[in-house]
Amino acid sequence: MPTTAELELDRYLVPFDLRRVPQYGFDVLVLGGGAGGSLAALAAADCGASVGLLSKAGLTETNTQYAQGGMAAVLDRADSFEVHVADTLRVGCGLAESPVVEEVVRGGPAAVERLLALGAEFDRTADGQLDLLREGGHTFPRIIHSRGAATGTEIQRKLSEAIQAHPRITTFPETFVVDLLSGTDGEIVGALSRSAREEYVAYAAPEVVLATGGAGQIYRETTNPEIATADGVAMAFRAGADVRDLEFIQFHPTCLYIAGAARVLISEVVRGAGGVLRDRHGVRFMPDAHPEAELAPRDVVSRAAFERMVATDDTSVYLDLSEIDRDPHRLFPRISHICRFFGIDIARDPIPVRPGAHYMIGGICVDLDGRTNVPGLWATGECASTGIHGANRMGSNSLLEAIVLGARVGEAAATAAASVGKSHLERVAERKFSNPPPDVKVNIDDMIYSLKSLMWRQMGVDRNGLGMRDALADIAFWMRATGALALEGRRSLELVNMLTVARLATIGALEREESRGVHYRSDYPGSDPAWRAHLRLRPYTGRAGLNAVELVRDPLAEAVTHG
């Protein structure tokens, strides 16, 4: 039987009057300009739709921009689709869905060709072939990359150029989407945003695609850029969309850790090239943790690193590149440059690293075409839960997923838009609020830092019921406090989104009484066959907002083992 959890959330974050704001109209509205959003926009426009693409920051400031490792695709004769599928299902710990994995994996070669056609440049061998690297969980080398660990930058550069050059795509950078706008029957008819000048602007569209990225900024230690504040998942949930598997947050095991410095991802391709992890005493510990050592799945490596930090009373472990048989400065110029700034010679000096929140595996429930349960609303990329990753994402599959399924979502949204006609914002029920207490102030930055620290301590690599229950109480208190205030400025709106998704993720993690993939509970250290199911969180909607969340188990049809 489904269970419920208390949750009070306004349908809209700010009061608005659509008669008093500028309005734009499109066939398809895409929120987010990373790989998934860009491919959705390009595909929809190629189908003849007029497309508006809204980007929270500049067009190139996306999660894709920071993807270092590369993109997985079967390009070598020794490899096969069947092996790539089997690797993905194995690493997914029983929750990856075979039909979705098959669709994405088989789309790999065409996705690479599409990027090459756009002018993307990837590293090649001496004979001109694409240079393929191996990462954790992959049986064969199948990772294409650019300038060592600058793959995301290259892909984003070419996608942004294509977006700006397309005659049927209009871009709106520096535009923060506050909320999705619902019609009288609950269907999505557009979005309300704040422009770079802090003015409200409304966008009407019968089909809206969310491609807003992940939620890494709800954690103190993260590889994600500042824009990754869970906005898409939160606004979709407020609009009535089901979300699922939010307890599965993947932690990347190797983030550069120097006190006071921004956390910088040290790509998995470094370990694929021969980098090894050691503790403060120089002991290599991964061979004892897993047969694949440093190339074990990321959940295994992250937990082993965390446990070794605790055992040696150190703030980090150390990535040693000194035994790589090629010059690491040439192989990884960006990493070399960053480390050199801090006085680290990567060819000689161990790099201090620790786990950091990296990828939101769960997200908005969608089908293979990206449809949600809310008419007019679609999702793709990291904010969507398609079923490919299961309980533990295999490295470099996410860019592949975004490009293959992003294009599919765009085509489906354009087809739907052609059949329903224009959207009309007159059907939107406007939201008005009572005046907040004039003498109450909240330090937004302090609350954000407190949330990030709490999530790192109590919803991090190692969790338990007592800690998560305490976390839920704190998050609920902060949500009540912010709910009584007028939200002014982007940072306060981001805080509500972060609190919302942090609360939903913690509710899910507390409900899932087992350890599976990236979700590890010290009070339930084993996997439970009864929990071989997606955990769907369905909003209960009242007149003014949401007053509860229903938790539903969706069992998978077939067994997949975690080897």
Question: Cα separation of 277 and 353, whole Å?
Answer: 9
Supply angle C-alpha 390, 393, 394, rounded to 5: 125
**pLDDT value of position 505:** 98
Phi, psi of 4 (to 5 degrees): -125, 155
**pLDDT value of position 547:** 74
DSSP track, 183-229? -TTS-EEEEEEE-TTS-EEEEE-SEEEE-----GGGSSSBSS-TT-S
| Cβ neighbours of residue 411 closer than 8 Å, sequence gap 6 or more | 43, 44, 47
Whether 298 is catalytic: yes
Residue tagged active-site, from 134, 298, 303, 408: 298
| Cβ neighbours of residue 346 closer than 8 Å, sequence gap 6 or more | 321, 328, 329, 332, 335, 336, 339, 340
Mapping DSSP onto H, E and C, the string for 81-120 reads: HHHHHHHHHHHCCCCCCHHHHHHHHHCHHHHHHHHHHCCC
**pLDDT value of position 563:** 33
**pLDDT value of position 430:** 62
Q: In what order do the strands lie in the sheet with 264-265?
A: 264-265, 249-256, 351-360, 317-320, 276-278
| Cβ neighbours of residue 275 closer than 8 Å, sequence gap 6 or more | 294, 319, 320, 321, 324, 328
- Kind and range of the H or E element at 549? strand 545-555
* Tokens matching residue 116: 């090459």
What do you get for the CA distance between the two ends of the chain, in Å?
Answer: 31
Q: In what order do the strands lie in the sheet with 23-25?
A: 23-25, 200-204, 188-194, 176-182
Task: Say how many CA atoms lie within 13 Å of 19 toward its Cβ.
Answer: 3
- Helices then strands, each counted (H, E), the chain: 15, 22
- Kind and range of the H or E element at 52? strand 51-54
Question: Cα separation of 450 and 220, whole Å?
Answer: 9
Strands 363-365 and 384-385: parallel
CA distances from 18 to 10, 15, 200 (A): 18, 10, 9
Strands 533-541 and 276-278: unpaired
Strands 188-194 and 363-365: unpaired
From first to last of its 563 residues, the chain has per-residue pLDDT tens of 678 888 888 889 988 889 889 999 999 999 999 999 999 999 999 999 999 999 999 999 998 998 877 999 999 999 999 999 999 999 999 999 999 999 999 999 999 999 999 999 999 999 999 999 988 889 999 999 998 778 999 999 999 999 999 999 999 999 999 999 999 889 999 999 999 888 999 999 999 999 999 999 999 999 899 999 999 999 999 999 999 999 999 999 999 898 766 677 888 888 988 999 999 999 999 999 999 999 888 888 999 999 999 999 999 999 999 999 889 998 888 889 889 988 999 999 999 999 999 999 999 999 999 999 999 999 999 999 999 999 999 989 999 999 999 999 999 999 999 998 777 787 676 665 555 556 667 789 999 999 999 999 999 999 999 999 999 999 999 998 887 777 778 999 999 999 999 999 999 999 999 999 999 999 999 999 999 999 999 997 654 456 789 999 999 865 443 33
Residue 352's SS3 state is strand
* Tokens matching residue 292: 């694949």
Phi, psi of 402 (to 5 degrees): -65, -40
Closest CA to 423 of 369, 379, 375, 378: 375
**pLDDT value of position 437:** 59
Cβ–Cβ < 8 Å for 41, 129: no
Q: Tell me, what DSSP letter sits at residue 521?
A: B
Question: Cα separation of 493 and 470, whole Å?
Answer: 24
Ranges of H-type helices in 124-170 = 151-165
**pLDDT value of position 560:** 41
Determine the distance from the C-alpha atom of residue 272 to the mean position of all C-alpha atoms in its chain, rounded to a whole number: 23
- Kind and range of the H or E element at 254? strand 249-256
Task: Look at the block and give the residue holding tokens 């009540």.
Answer: 480
**pLDDT value of position 434:** 57
Report which residue type is found at 72.
A
Model confidence, pTM: 0.92
**pLDDT value of position 440:** 66
Neighbouring-strand partners of residue 356: 252
Strands 51-54 and 28-31: parallel
Mapping DSSP onto H, E and C, the string for 412-465 reads: HHHHHHHHHCCCCHHHCCCCCCCCCCCCCCCCHHHHHHHHHHHHHHHCCCCECH
Which residue segments constitute the domains of the chain, with CATH numbers given? 252-357 (3.90.700.10), 436-555 (1.20.58.100)
Determine the distance from the C-alpha atom of residue 265 to the mean position of all C-alpha atoms in its chain, rounded to a whole number: 15
Cβ–Cβ < 8 Å for 169, 41: yes
| Cβ neighbours of residue 544 closer than 8 Å, sequence gap 6 or more | 10, 11
